[in-house]
Structure 1
C-alpha cells in the first residue's frame, strides 16, 4: 500500500493501518504518545489505542443532497468519525479533510457536536423551512459508543417529538433501544422508522469487520424490541462482500423476518478513495487465501475498478455478480414477506419549534 505505515493490526480496531491519503499530499502518520493509552493491551504488551473526542460546536447541522440513489434529501450527523471501526465504511475518507487518517484515526479520533439539537431547532424554525424526513446515521453511526455519554442523538429525537418532525434512523448498534421511548412516540404518529444494518450472523467475522459495533445477535434482538414497540424496522445487509459474506443473504433475511422486521435491502460493498487500499490490506491480513478473488469480483461489479461513483449504479453494481445478488435478495424478500415500504413517514404534522421560549408566528 503506497504511503502507508507497516501493517500492524490493533486489537479491537478495524483498519490494519493508519495510512494518510496521497491525494492531499499529507505525510504518513505513525502512532505517537498523544493518542495511545499508557495501559498495556491484552495482546502481548502492545499499547492500547485510545479513543479521543473533540467537541465541535457546529454553525450548521442540516446537510442537503440531490442524489437519486437515496430516499431522502437531508441528513444530520451528530459525530465525525466512528468508533465502530467498520473497515469498509465509505465515510472514512472524510477524515482526511481534518488532516487525519481515514485509517485508525477515523475510528479513534472522533468529533462530537454537542449543540447539534440547538442548531437544528433554529434551522427548522425558520419561516421558509419545509419539513421532509431527516436521515440520521447515513454517514457515521448516531449510536456509536460515545452516544452513551453525549446523548446528542437523543436530544435530536426529543426535538423531533416536540415538533412532530419526521426522522429516519440508520444504525448497527443495539444502543438504539435506549431511545425506544422517543422512537415509540414518533412511530405512533408515523414519523419514524429504524434501519438496522446486519452484515453477517457470524460473531467472529463481525468482530473483525465491525470490531466495536453490537454483535449480530444483539442487533437482531434490537429489531425484535423495536418491532414489538410498534416501530417500523428495516434490515439492511450493507455491505455485501462477495466471497466473504454473500453466502449469508438468505440466513440474514430469515433471521430479520423472525425478529419482526418489515423490509430488507442490500448494498454491495463500495470502496471510495482510501477505503479501497485499507480494505485490500484487511483482506491480506484476514483472508489471504481469497483476497485476489474478492477484489476480482468487486471489480467485476464496479466496471473493472475498485469503486464506481456513478449515480444509479454505485449502490447496486452491475454485471453477473450484481445481478445474482439482486435475484437472491428478491427471492429472499418475497419468501419471508420483507417487501414493506421502507420510509412511509408523514410530513404534515410538523409544528415549528419555540426559539428561546418565544412561540413562532408562522
Structure 2
C-alpha cells in the first residue's frame, strides 16, 4: 500500500495548483457574479491538456489515469468549482463514454475535438420530470430511415450553452423502462436541436447550464453509442466514474474554505486575541482538516480502483461522492461561521464556496441516491 503520489501525479498537482492560483482564482468571483462561461480559461486549459486528461494519446489526449484527473479537478475547483466541473464533465461524462462504448469511427471523430478544446462536451440525462429515476426517461427516439428522430427536453445540463458534442439518453419505448434506453452522440448543429432556458443557478453559475430541446431532431444512426437498449448501462457506468470527480470537486471546495478560514483566524482579533487562539475555533479547524483528508482518501481510493481495472466500483465512488459532498457543506458552513458577518458578504469568497458546495449533494445523484447505491452493494 502506497499513499504517495507518483512523480507524474505530483507534477500534475503542482501545475494545476499554480495555474489555478495565478489565472483562475483572480476571475472566479467575477464569473460567478456575471454567470459568464470562461472561454479563454477553458481554451488555455485545453492547450495544457486538462480538457482531455483521460483521453488516450492516439486520440489527441494526455492519456493519464483517473487519479491524476481527480487531483487536477480538486486543484482547479479550489479556485473555481464552476471551472472544475466544466473540465470534469468534458473528461468523464462526455469523452469517457465515447471512448469506453464508442466504435473506432466515433472515437476518431469526436475524441480529438474534445481533447483539444475545439469542442466542449456535455452529458444529457436529466429531464424536467426525471431526475433520480433515469429508467423513466420521457425523451424518445424512433426510426426515421437513415436517422433516429429524437424528441423531448433535457434540463440542468452542464456546459450545454457552449457544448458542441452531447451524449444524450432517450428511450425507444417507455414501457421497457431501463431496457429501452439508448445513448446517442448528438452534435449541436443537428436539425431539430435547440438550446432552451439558461439556468440561473444558486452556485456553479459559470457552467452554461441550459435546457436542451429536441423536436424531431435528426441523429444519424451511426451516432448510436453502444447498442439499442444499452443506454442505461452506459449512463450508470459513466456516473460511477464521474462521481469520483464530484468527490474531488467537493474536496477542492472544502480545502479552499478551510484555507481561507485558517488564514482569517490568524488575522482577526476579538477580545484581544486572534481567533485561532480560541479553543472553539481550533475545534472547528481540526474537524475541517480531518474530514477533508478522509474525504480525499476516499476519492483517491475510488480512483485507484478505476485505474486498477476493477470492473465495478459503484460502492466506492458513491461513498467518495456522498462523504466528500457532506464535508464540503460542513467545511463551507464553518468557514462562514469563522468569518462571522464578513463571511455572509460577497467581499469574501467563502459565501461562494457555500453556494457551490450545495450542488455537490444534488447533481450526479443526490446524497440519498448515493446511500441507496452503497446499501445495495453492501447487501448483495
Q: Which structure's residues are more often helix, by fraction?
A: 2
The normalised TM-score by structure 2 is 0.26
The normalised TM-score by structure 1 is 0.26
